[in-house]
Structure 1
Amino acid sequence: MIPLEDNYTDVIGKAQRGLNLSDSLLAEKAKVSVEQLRKVKEGEPIDEILEKIAPVLGLGKKALLDLAKGLYYPQDRGIIPGLFHFNTRWEDMTVNSYLVWDTTTKEAAVFDTGGNCTEMLDAIKVHGLHVKYIFLTHTHADHIAELGRLKRAVGAPAYCCELEMISGTEPFSPGKEFQLSHLSIRSFLTNGHSPGGVSYYITGGEHKFVIVGDSIFAGSMGGGNYSYSDALKNNKEKILTLPDDTIICPGHGPLTTVGEEKIHNPFFAFS
């Protein structure tokens, strides 16, 4: 079981940094003491304080409290036809990469490389898959660490958003659609965590997938390093408007769904 990428203190920190709120200003706006805020941020989940700071940070109260109490983890979906999820080590963390394929023709696409692509290459060989595309969600080091090795091994071109180009990749404009046998892959810009972050919505198979990189996680989202407001807007308007049963494949942490994140993600759940 892959742990959640973020705990409730991470969520508070990301929102606080995104809104450029110091501890003293956040405490003042929430009408709590700096000492009370410090305790919460150090891992003491005090309900009364969390309820006060949540609206100031633009976070859903119940979702934040549930996360703080360890009450949220997305449903385990077991084996999903046409999808392999790889979780590999990169320095002091783990990172996800994915292999999606048409189960009838075995034509496949890779999404990011993770910190080590050995397991992915083994799966390609064992299942007799033919990789047609390599897609990058963004170009942070943990997501592209094995790009050279992967390209050499599978002989497929690598595609990257034109807003975030790196050597050895082919540029494309977000909105471009790709065909993978019976599967359709639609790209759309979900920047905010990075300048050219892209998500890929895959339909035509037994399940709908969206490969999102670090745009959104189960119970959290990637930090708005490039633009916090754009990150929030893109997640709300482009990812969470997809059908509820769409499986979200994030860059870190476990798989989730659009429906689950609309209810349980503190950044987006306000009921």
Structure 2
Amino acid sequence: MITVQSFAFNYFSENTYILHDDTGEAVIIDCGCYFPNEKQEVIHYLTTNNLTLKHHLCTHLHLDHVLGSSFIEQTYGLKPRAHKAEAELPSTADQARMLGLPVQLDNIQIEQYIHGGESIPFGHSELTALLVPGHSPGSLAFYNKKNGYLFSGDALFNGSIGRTDLWGGDMEVLVTAIKNKLLTLPDETVVYPGHGPETTIYNEKMNNPFL
């Protein structure tokens, strides 16, 4: 059984997820911790639960989802992984400047790419990477079939979908990707989005006005 711990971090109330099983191996998805107290929350959770981080995954490289990436790399020695198409985005420093945010950041360097379709193992568990572009050029979601969990990033929200007016966004591409890659998952799949509360695939099929 996978345990999912969520945190709402930074200026954007971005959802960061730590998931782990009974082996103590863990994955962090979209580490957005920026302020010192937020970083301490991550350290405290990993330490008190005796967890070992095995993977540092990014659904995409918009600023709010990577504000803690350098912290994870420096503290735990894990470089972030994302899709190669995310290299089309402005650097994190440029994004901050364009958005007028007073943050000091190192630019994120991706050295190991996730292409979509591959399995990412940890402990006795695994995630499958799903390519769902449209919110950004290389947006990914991560699916755990055994527990029925989907980490959708900013592709799919409770009652909404990701905005497409940022760098590399495309509404038609996003809706098509959601319908083909995410809404085909079992209805009972729990969706953990990049912002806001969780939902289910069934709920989004029935009630999401954008789909």
Same fold (TM over 0.5): yes
Is 1:144 matched up with 2:66? yes
8 Å CA contact retained: 1:188, 1:199: yes
Instruction: Determine which structure has more spread, i.e. the larger CA radius of gyration.
Output: 1
Letter in 2 for 1:110: I
Distance 1:234 1:120 in 2: 32
Name which structure has the greater RCO, CA cutoff 8 Å, separation 6+. Answer: 1
Superposed CA deviations along residues 183-228 of structure 1, whole A, max 9, x for unmatched, are 1211111010101101111133xx3211111001101011123111
Residues 87-236 of structure 1: pairs in structure 2 closer than 5 A = 87-90=8-11, 93-102=12-21, 104-116=22-34, 117-118=38-39, 119-165=41-87, 166-204=108-146, 207-225=147-165, 226-236=169-179
Q: CA deviation at 1:245?
A: 1.4
- Structure with greater strand percent: 2
Gap runs ≥5 in structure 1: 1-79
Q: CA deviation at 1:176?
A: 1.7
Distance 2:5 2:111 in 1: 23
Q: CA deviation at 1:168?
A: 4.5
Distance 1:223 1:209 in 2: 23
Is 1:244 matched up with 2:187? yes
8 Å CA contact retained: 1:85, 1:97: yes
8 Å CA contact retained: 2:114, 2:129: no
Letter in 1 for 2:157: F
Q: CA deviation at 1:81?
A: 5.4
Residues 2-151 of structure 1: pairs in structure 2 closer than 5 A = 82-90=3-11, 93-102=12-21, 104-116=22-34, 117-118=38-39, 119-151=41-73
Q: CA deviation at 1:246?
A: 1.1
Identity level (%): 30
Normalised by the size of structure 2, how large is the TM-score? 0.82
- Structure with greater helix percent: 1
Runs in 1 of length 4+ with deviation above 6 angstroms? none
8 Å CA contact retained: 1:132, 1:157: no
Normalised by the size of structure 1, how large is the TM-score? 0.64
Counterpart residue number, 2:92: none
Greater mean alpha carbon deviation, residues 105-114 or residues 221-230: 221-230
Distance 1:81 1:134 in 2: 17
Gap runs ≥5 in structure 2: 88-107
